[in-house]
Structure 1
Amino acid sequence: MNQQQAAHPARGLSYLRLKIVGIVLVALSCVGGVVFPTGLSGLDAADVDMTNLTVAVLCEAVSWVAVPVYAWLTVEGYRHTRDVRWYAVRLLALAVISEVPYDLATTGKAVDWGSQNPVFALAIVVVALALIDAFRDRPAVTRRAVGVVVAVAALAWMLLGHIGLRQQIMNEGVLIVVLALIFRYLSARENTMMMLAAACSALFCILPAFGVAILHYRNGRLGYDRANKPWVQWLFYALYPAVLLVFAAF
Structure 2
Amino acid sequence: MKTKWGISGSVLKWFAVITMVIDHFGASVLETYMMNVWGRSPLGNLFSDHWNELLRVDRILRYIGRPAFPIFCFLLVEGFLHTRDVKKYAMRLGIFALISEIPFDLAVRGKFFDWQYQNVYITLLLGLLTIWALKTQKDVWYLRLVIAAAGCALGELVHCDYGAMGVALIVVLYLMRESRFQQCITGAICTYWELPAPLAFIPIWFYNGERGRQPKWFFYWFYPVHLLIYGVIGSWILPGILL
TM-score grouping bracket, smaller chain normalisation: 0.7 to 0.9
Q: Is the 8 A contact 2:187 2:201 kept in 1?
A: yes
For residues 21-40 of structure 1, the aligned pairs below 5 Å read 21-32=15-26, 33-38=28-33
Equivalent position of 1:13 in the other structure:
7
% identity of equivalent residues: 27
Q: Is the 8 A contact 2:137 2:144 kept in 1?
A: no
The match for 2:123 among 121, 124, 127 is 121
Offset, 1:135: 2.2
Kindly provide the CA deviation profile for residues 123-172 of structure 1, in whole angstroms up to 9, marking residues without a partner as x. Answer: 11111111111222xxx3xx2112111111111122122211xxxxxxx2
Equivalent position of 2:170 in the other structure:
180
Unaligned 5+ segments in structure 1 are 1-8, 165-171, 227-231
Q: Is the 8 A contact 1:116 1:161 kept in 2?
A: yes
**1:247 maps onto 2:210 in alignment:** no
Offset, 1:186: 1.6
For the aligned residue pairs, the C-alpha RMSD in angstroms reads 2.4
The match for 1:199 among 189, 192, 201 is 189
Matched position secondary structure for 2:32: coil
Deviation above 6 Å: which 4+ runs of structure 1?
39-44
Equivalent position of 1:55 in the other structure:
57
* Cα 1:15–1:51 shift into 2, 3 Å: same
For residues 135-214 of structure 1, the aligned pairs below 5 Å read 135-136=137-138, 140=139, 143-164=140-161, 172-202=162-192, 204-214=193-203
Matched position secondary structure for 1:28: helix
Opposite residue 78 of structure 1, the aligned amino acid is F
Offset, 1:79: 0.7
The match for 2:218 among 207, 231, 235 is 235
Kindly provide the CA deviation profile for residues 3-61 of structure 1, in whole angstroms up to 9, marking residues without a partner as x. Answer: xxxxxx965321111111121122112211212335878999x9571111221222223
Offset, 1:214: 2.0
How many equivalent residue pairs? 222
Matched position secondary structure for 1:37: helix
More helix by share: 2
Kindly provide the CA deviation profile for residues 67-123 of structure 1, in whole angstroms up to 9, marking residues without a partner as x. Answer: 110111111111111111111110011111001101111122111233211110111
The answer to which of 70-79 and 21-30 deviates more is: 21-30
Opposite residue 151 of structure 1, the aligned amino acid is A
Q: Is the 8 A contact 2:134 2:144 kept in 1?
A: yes
Q: Is the 8 A contact 1:118 1:173 kept in 2?
A: no
* Cα 1:161–1:61 shift into 2, 3 Å: farther
The answer to which of 210-219 and 87-96 deviates more is: 210-219
Aligned partners of 1:39 and 1:189: how far apart in 2? 44
Q: Is the 8 A contact 1:10 1:221 kept in 2?
A: no
TM-score under structure 1 length normalisation = 0.81
* Cα 1:36–1:180 shift into 2, 3 Å: closer
The answer to which of 88-97 and 193-202 deviates more is: 193-202
Offset, 1:179: 2.0
Equivalent position of 2:239 in the other structure:
none
Opposite residue 69 of structure 1, the aligned amino acid is I
Matched position secondary structure for 1:122: helix
Q: Is the 8 A contact 1:103 1:110 kept in 2?
A: yes
